[in-house]
């Protein structure tokens, strides 16, 4: 165990590293690092148990830096403790893995979650702590927050969740240094106000001087004994240790120039790194196993909503696999994730109406090796866009199911209709998007999602639909399904979800007009095999009608239009082009021109237009006036 003086010396070294790193980079947040130097020193060199040679030991205590702008001091702690090898002066330089805010990467596996978009770390910490509880491990989770970010609503979503699930293996620390980016924080140094808020939420709230090593260590010791989750309210000074920076406004996010950096370092005690021993966790041997359920067993005449098939598939997965968990935002009887709750209640996590926290918790669970499936109405996922964005940056492994997609949900109206969700998930890096159209494809894509890494989105619909596929059909990632084709086809109809079924009706109607259409199921929106798709459309009339229950911007049609941009394929794109209203499903599909009648009309119009253009070209060629040849004149000798 290091002595009090040794921890003070380590704090001084971390301070110097933070100043030198940000000065070398020419940017960064040195004053935010200086305020938490003693806290970081105590955490990494006295309090936490972790194996410096194995960042993936699931028995390691975990640390999440929610105030991600203070990452230079975290890098310093990781370098000084022997976890990583790096030059702190490479901070923020192109090609260096010492990013300006924490981001997980291969070179630095100790960063478990991207942070810097404030208000998210506590949710991720909650997921990590819950994973340890569920797995009956003794590992603890520490989350360092900034006082500014405690105004974020997601902090209180996380706090309620942590209290509800009695996560006493979590210890949050708020670095209350009074100053925000542009002005003082809302509560400044009103520690009593923080204390009353978090006590009312069910926390063991401990108020300390955040620069007093003895008080910090005592608070950590108390947190280990508490039956409640702990929050340490550390009163600190921004810029602590450098007289001309201490508690001064206007220095947030500003690196010192070389002259000021040298002046600052002279004020910090010049000490050597003391010898230390990191507490080791229990050894952990992790053997990952995964079992797939048997193929679906739906009958040919079954009418099943894809949201219900999602619940069926997830319940089967959770029953077979220890690391599959279902999370829901209090709509499990609509998303049908309640099937997991009914069959294996210990595998179901109720997140209540707090979608931002649900995504953060799911990310935390995935950090500890679990495979979370989260579900809510697709429309409500938009409020968690930032959490999803940061999860994607973190290379998190989670599956999200958005139910009640599009106007086909009917009478509930536009506030409940997911019409932006495809564009949301398409914009996330390395995401995978599935849009099943029947029960069989839904089950198979749920199973596939459990095997894939990254962010996976499954879009499901409210209304029941007939089966399209046999139970043994397979759905490769990135592909599409050819439902029907013939050598006589002169147009292609493509759809997904509810519009695939409308396209099937349109295909039958078109035959009465002597128009033969191929039928395509776009069950995988991202990634998408555009080369194969282009070849198919070209060989089946070179004309395409794509129909989707989504807004025009960012949906399937936009994706296909981009893929076909350099081809001569003619496209009609049917989608929801105005703000929808309440009504019956059939009324809405018809009114917003995405039903079978609209598809039929669009196909006829496209073919007639092409035929009229061709006739006009032929007519121009046939009636083109002949150019008279000039008579030859005899040359004079």
Give the integer Cα–Cα distance in Å for 463 and 391: 31
Q: List Cα–Cα distances, 500 to 148, 422, 485, 493, 503, in angstroms.
A: 48, 16, 15, 9, 5
Between 59 and 287, residue with greater pLDDT: 59
Give the integer Cα–Cα distance in Å for 45 and 217: 11
Look at residue 290 in the predicted model and tell me its pLDDT: 87
- % the chain with pLDDT above 70: 95
User: pLDDT digits over 165-209, tens only?
Assistant: 999 999 999 999 999 999 999 999 999 999 999 999 999 999 999
**Residue-by-residue DSSP string for 559-570:** HHHHHTTTS--E
For 322, phi and psi rounded to 5 degrees?
-65, -30
Residues near 260 by Cβ (< 8 Å), separated by ≥ 6? 244
Query: Can you tell me which residue has the tokens 């579900």?
Result: 375
Tell me the average pLDDT across 233-241: 98
Task: Quote the tokens at residue 322.
Answer: 């220890």
Residues near 417 by Cβ (< 8 Å), separated by ≥ 6? 379, 404, 405, 406, 407, 409, 580
Alpha-carbon torsion 388, 433, 537, 546, what sign? negative
Give the integer Cα–Cα distance in Å for 610 and 585: 32
Look at residue 637 in the predicted model and tell me its pLDDT: 42
Tell me the average pLDDT across 124-145: 97
pTM for the complete prediction?
A: 0.94
Look at residue 611 in the predicted model and tell me its pLDDT: 66
**Residue-by-residue DSSP string for 441-463:** HHHHHHHHHHH--SEEEEE--SS
Task: Quote the tokens at residue 513.
Answer: 């007009």
Give the integer Cα–Cα distance in Å for 112 and 527: 26
Give the integer Cα–Cα distance in Å for 203 and 196: 10
> Sorting pLDDT into bands at 50, 70 and 90, what band is 471?
very high
User: pLDDT digits over 297-326, tens only?
Assistant: 999 889 999 999 999 999 999 999 999 999
For 305, phi and psi rounded to 5 degrees?
-70, 140
- The mean pLDDT value of the chain amounts to 95
Residues linked to residue 376 through DSSP beta bridges, in sequence order? 402
Sheet with 204-209: list strands edge to edge: 62-65, 141-146, 170-176, 230-235, 204-209
**Residues annotated as part of the active site:** 355
**Least confident window among 226-240, 574-588, 609-623:** 609-623
Q: List Cα–Cα distances, 52 to 49, 79, 138, 286, in angstroms.
A: 9, 10, 18, 17
- Please determine, for residue 615, whether its predicted confidence score (pLDDT) is greater than 70: no
DSSP classification of residue 428? S
Give the integer Cα–Cα distance in Å for 400 and 458: 6
CB 102 within 8 A of CB 114: yes
**Residue-by-residue DSSP string for 67-92:** SGGGHHHHHHHHHHHTS----GGGTT
DSSP classification of residue 189? T
| Cis, bond preceding 575 (omega within 30 deg of 0) | no
Give the integer Cα–Cα distance in Å for 603 and 300: 29
- Please determine, for residue 464, whether its predicted confidence score (pLDDT) is greater than 80: yes
- Please determine, for residue 617, whether its predicted confidence score (pLDDT) is greater than 90: no
Give the integer Cα–Cα distance in Å for 209 and 435: 53
Tell me the average pLDDT across 575-600: 97
Q: List Cα–Cα distances, 275 to 9, 36, 61, in angstroms.
A: 11, 21, 21
For 486, phi and psi rounded to 5 degrees?
-155, 165
Tell me the average pLDDT across 60-69: 98
- Please determine, for residue 495, whether its predicted confidence score (pLDDT) is greater than 80: yes
Closest CA relative to residue 400, chosen from 434, 438, 369: 434
**Residue-by-residue DSSP string for 466-483:** E--S-TT----TT--EEE
CB 20 within 8 A of CB 194: no
User: pLDDT digits over 333-390, tens only?
Assistant: 999 999 999 999 999 999 999 999 999 999 999 999 999 999 999 999 999 999 999 9
| Cα dihedral: 95, 100, 106, 111 (round 10) | 170
Tell me the average pLDDT across 561-578: 96
Q: Domains plus CATH for the chain? A: 4-267 (3.40.50.970), 303-466 (3.40.50.970), 481-622 (3.40.50.920)
């Amino acid at each position: 165990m290091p002595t009090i003086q040794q921890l003070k010396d380590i704090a001084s070294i971390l301070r110097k590293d933070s100043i030198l790193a940000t000065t070398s980079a020419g940017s960064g947040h040195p004053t935010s690092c200086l305020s938490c130097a003693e806290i970081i020193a105590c955490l990494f060199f006295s309090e936490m148990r972790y194996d410096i040679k194995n960042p993936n030991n699931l028995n390691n205590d975990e640390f999440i830096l929610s105030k991600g702008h203070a990452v230079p001091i975290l890098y310093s702690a990781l370098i000084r403790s022997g976890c990583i090898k790096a030059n702190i002066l490479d901070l923020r330089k192109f090609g260096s893995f010492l990013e300006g805010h924490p981001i997980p990467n291969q070179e630095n596996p100790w960063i478990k979650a991207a942070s810097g978009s404030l208000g998210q770390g506590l949710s991720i910490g909650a997921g990590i702590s819950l994973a340890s509880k569920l797995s009956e491990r003794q590992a603890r989770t520490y989350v360092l927050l900034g006082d500014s970010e405690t105004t974020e609503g997601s902090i209180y979503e996380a706090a309620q969740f942590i209290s509800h699930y009695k996560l006493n293996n979590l210890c949050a620390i708020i670095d209350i240094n009074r100053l925000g980016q542009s002005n003082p924080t809302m509560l400044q140094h009103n520690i009593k106000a923080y204390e009353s808020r978090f006590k009312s939420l069910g926390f063991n709230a401990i108020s300390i001087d955040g620069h007093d090593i003895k008080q910090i260590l005592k608070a950590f010791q108390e947190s280990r004994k508490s039956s409640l989750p702990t929050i340490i309210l550390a009163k600190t000074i921004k810029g602590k240790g450098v007289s001309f920076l201490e508690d001064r406004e206007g220095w947030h996010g500003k690196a010192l120039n070389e002259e000021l950096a040298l002046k600052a370092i002279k004020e910090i005690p010049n000490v050597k790194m003391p010898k230390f021993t990191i507490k080791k966790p229990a050894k952990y041997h992790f053997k990952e196993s995964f079992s797939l359920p048997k193929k679906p067993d739906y009958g040919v005449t079954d009418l099943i909503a894809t949201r219900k098939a999602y619940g069926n598939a997830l319940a089967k997965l959770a029953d077979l696999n220890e690391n599959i968990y279902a999370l829901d935002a209090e709509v499990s009887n609509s998303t049908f994730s309640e099937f997991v709750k009914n069959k294996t209640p210990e595998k179901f996590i109720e997140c209540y109406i707090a979608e931002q926290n649900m995504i953060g918790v799911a990310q935390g669970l995935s950090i500890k090796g679990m495979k979370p499936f989260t579900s809510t109405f697709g429309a409500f996922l938009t409020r968690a866009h930032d959490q999803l964005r940061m999860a994607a940056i973190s290379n998190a492994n989670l599956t999200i199911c958005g139910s009640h997609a599009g106007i086909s949900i009917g009478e509930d109206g536009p506030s409940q209709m997911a019409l932006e969700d495809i564009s949301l998930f398409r914009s996330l890096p390395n995401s995978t998007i599935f849009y099943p159209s029947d029960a069989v494809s839904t089950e198979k894509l749920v199973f596939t999602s459990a095997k894939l890494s990254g962010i996976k989105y499954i879009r499901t619909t409210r209304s029941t639909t007939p089966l399209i596929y046999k139970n043994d059909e397979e759905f490769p990632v990135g592909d599409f399904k050819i439902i029907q084709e013939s050598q006589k086809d002169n147009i292609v109809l493509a759809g997904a979800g509810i519009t695939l079924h409308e396209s099937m009706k349109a295909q039958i109607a078109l035959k009465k007009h002597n128009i033969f259409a191929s039928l395509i199921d776009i069950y995988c929106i991202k990634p998408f095999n555009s080369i194969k798709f282009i070849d198919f459309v070209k060989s089946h009339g070179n004309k395409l009608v794509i129909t989707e229950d989504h807004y025009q911007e960012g949906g399937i049609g936009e994706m296909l239009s981009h893929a076909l941009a350099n081809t001569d394929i003619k496209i009609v794109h049917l989608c929801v082009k105005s703000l929808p209203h309440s009504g019956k499903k059939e009324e809405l599909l018809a009114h917003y021109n995405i039903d079978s009648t609209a598809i039929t009309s669009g196909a006829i119009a496209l073919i007639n237009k092409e035929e009229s253009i061709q006739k006009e070209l032929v007519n121009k060629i046939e009636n083109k006036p002949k150019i008279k040849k000039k008579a030859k004149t005899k040359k004079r000798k």
